[in-house]
A and B are shown apart, each in its own frame.
Chain A
Amino acid sequence: MSKPFEIPGKWEIEYKYAAGPYISKFLEGLKEKKIFGIKCNSCKRVYVPPRMFCERCYVELNDWVEVKETGTLETFIVVYRKFYGLPDPPYALGLIKLDGASESFLHYLGEVDLSRPEKIPEILKQGQKVIAIWNEERKGSILDIKYFKPL
């Protein structure tokens, strides 16, 4: 048999995803350096980022609250490998529970020495305090917060 052919292919499709009213208000808040969450009056949890409904109580949420720009680092990882089409390494990601929120959300960790992977457990700690570092220019994006800096 002859050598099997391989036909090159590529998907280049553009989308516009509707963020919905809850995330839209959250993103609008980031422009003003405000972080909005939403409280479930049934289970008292505060969701950051906000959602239309509480997945536990299955009720609609309308009680907006503002949470602090400081929080706790719940977990962290450090990306060392370049994955094609994804951000350039090295970079650290954390699940961060903001003060006043019940659950953690994902963001970059910054001002952290990532040069030696074996030192990561000495540099980043589960439970350490972090603070949001804001971008000078904010346009209503999750990246209006540049990253969270360990305190």
Chain B
Amino acid sequence: MDKVAIIGVGLTKTGRRNDVSHQELAFEAIKTALKNCELDIDDIDAVVYGTMDNFDGISSPERFDSIALGCGRGRGKPMMKITTGGTTGMSLALTAYYHVASGLYDTVLAIGVQKVSENVEAQQVLNTAVDPILDKTFGLGAIHAAAFQASRYRSTYKSNIEDYMCNVAIINRKNALRNPFAHLKLNITDDDYYSSPYLVWPLRLLDSCPSSDGAVAVIFASSKVAKRLSENPAWIKGLGYISDSYWWGTKPIEFWDNLAILAKRVFKMAKISNPFKEINVAELYNAFTIQEIMEYEAIGLAKKGQGWKLLDEGITCFHGSLPVCPSGGVLSTNPIAASGLIRVAEAALQVMGKAEGRQIDGVKNAIAHAWGGALQFHGLMVLSNE
């Protein structure tokens, strides 16, 4: 298999983007990514495109977005559409990697686009993704699943976990102040957190991600092309994806044991024996505060039930020894199908030294993660500067 690198990234402004249509938003990300690595759309061999159709209220938006992807009339470019929930963006990154590593293509564009703000209620949309026979009745969305995790974690491991969720809420929103592409930029205090209303106990408004519009484009290249076009590409050293049961009663929800299995596989592939020491920055999929803490544990940065200790020691804050989500994370910006690919894009920018105001010093290895489904799917990628 060929080595694969990321050579260009295009992020868009996020938030309520009713100034542009779905396809204009995709075009904005792609145009920026191409410019950043001095490529033309005709230099791209194939495109992988992702969105979660029902958030934007359009079935199969690839039908009219194709023209924004350089896949309109006259180009004959191969194009594939991917939809895997919260992991959509990570599935795009994995698919782009496979396309290049296989030797079939030299340059592949991954593009995730989403306009979550265009629906009236994201949880109502998410309720269309639960078991329609039994579970749907109870009004479940994503926040309900995360609340079950937080409740179970609280009862099983740490009765005052809320105090640590508060830390995660504050750190991520403050990090977002450094990121011009973030949606929520909140300079909040402990008091703000504790006066924030419960949405689904034990989760408060400030424990939760926003409904964002946004897009991201990432260009993957073969080693031959990457070396020619980029002085410091982000090399992909390890990657993988894992699935689990839909049924929540079937798996532990206080510990992400399948992410732990995936992390072992991916770190082995990347030849990382001590992730805590060897990883310099992590972009984790923290749609809800509790999930960031659970991800520390599953990825092997902390022991089971003790992820909160990293927060006590300030390890994962911006100036800590292993900063998590210097971008502000999913907690600050969540255009759902783009969010996983934004994690990859941010990790790549860190490795390339191009993360500007949110750059962490001396990054050699970065990781990007996404979860999706009914607390069920995970994708993980290790990027390195060599």
On A, residues with C-beta under 8 Å from B are: 4, 6, 9, 11, 15, 17, 19, 23, 49, 55, 74-81, 83-87, 93, 95, 97, 103-108, 117, 120-121, 125-126, 142-143
Q: A49-B134, A85-B121 are in contact. Are A103 and B200 (CB under 8 A)?
A: no
**10 nearest interchain CB pairs?**
A104-B249, A86-B139, A84-B121, A126-B155, A85-B124, A78-B201, A77-B147, A83-B123, A81-B199, A103-B249
B60 within 8 A of A: no
Contact A105 B137 (CB under 8 A): no
Q: How far is the CA of A77 from the CA of B148 in the complex (A)?
A: 6
Where chain B touches its partner, the secondary structure class is mixed
Q: How far is the CA of A79 from the CA of B121 in the complex (A)?
A: 15
- Which residues of chain A are within 8 angstroms of B159 by Cβ–Cβ distance? 121
B window 110-124: CB within 8 A of A: 120-121, 123-124
Contact A77 B201 (CB under 8 A): yes
Q: Mind listing 5 A-B residue pairs with CB under 8 Å?
A: A75-B253, A80-B200, A87-B139, A93-B138, A106-B138
B window 31-84: CB within 8 A of A: 54, 57
- Which residues of chain B are within 8 angstroms of A107 by Cβ–Cβ distance? 138
On B, residues with C-beta under 8 Å from A are: 18-20, 54, 57, 120-121, 123-124, 127, 132-135, 137-141, 144, 147-148, 151-152, 154-156, 159, 197-202, 245, 247-250, 253
Which among B57, B140, B154, B247 is the interface contact of A103 at CB below 8 angstroms?
B247
Q: How far is the CA of A84 from the CA of B137 in the complex (A)?
A: 14
Q: How far is the CA of A6 from the CA of B120 in the complex (A)?
A: 13
Q: How far is the CA of A120 from the CA of B20 in the complex (A)?
A: 44
Contact B138 A9 (CB under 8 A): no
Q: How far is the CA of A66 from the CA of B20 in the complex (A)?
A: 56
Q: Specify the chain B residue showing the minimal Cβ separation from A92.
A: B201
Q: Specify the chain A residue showing the minimal Cβ separation from B122.
A: A83
- Which residues of chain A are within 8 angstroms of B201 by Cβ–Cβ distance? 77-80, 117, 120
User: Could you tell me the distance in whole angstroms from the C-beta of A38 to the nearest C-beta in chain B?
Assistant: 13
User: Could you tell me the distance in whole angstroms from the C-beta of B255 to the nearest C-beta in chain A?
Assistant: 13
User: Could you tell me the distance in whole angstroms from the C-beta of B201 to the nearest C-beta in chain A?
Assistant: 4
Q: How far is the CA of A19 from the CA of B132 in the complex (A)?
A: 9
User: Could you tell me the distance in whole angstroms from the C-beta of A75 to the nearest C-beta in chain B?
Assistant: 4
- Which residues of chain A are within 8 angstroms of B121 by Cβ–Cβ distance? 83-86
Q: Specify the chain A residue showing the minimal Cβ separation from B149.
A: A75
Contact B127 A85 (CB under 8 A): yes
User: Could you tell me the distance in whole angstroms from the C-beta of A64 to the nearest C-beta in chain B?
Assistant: 18
- Which residues of chain B are within 8 angstroms of A6 by Cβ–Cβ distance? 18
Contact A79 B139 (CB under 8 A): yes
Which among B156, B200, B245, B247 is the interface contact of A77 at CB below 8 angstroms?
B200
Contact B120 A84 (CB under 8 A): yes
Q: How far is the CA of A103 from the CA of B247 in the complex (A)?
A: 9
Contact A75 B152 (CB under 8 A): yes
Q: How far is the CA of A93 from the CA of B141 in the complex (A)?
A: 13
Q: How far is the CA of A92 from the CA of B112 in the complex (A)?
A: 36
Contact A87 B120 (CB under 8 A): no
User: Could you tell me the distance in whole angstroms from the C-beta of B349 to the nearest C-beta in chain A?
Assistant: 30
Q: Specify the chain A residue showing the minimal Cβ separation from B17.
A: A4
Contact A55 B138 (CB under 8 A): no
Contact B200 A87 (CB under 8 A): no
Q: Specify the chain B residue showing the minimal Cβ separation from A82.
A: B121
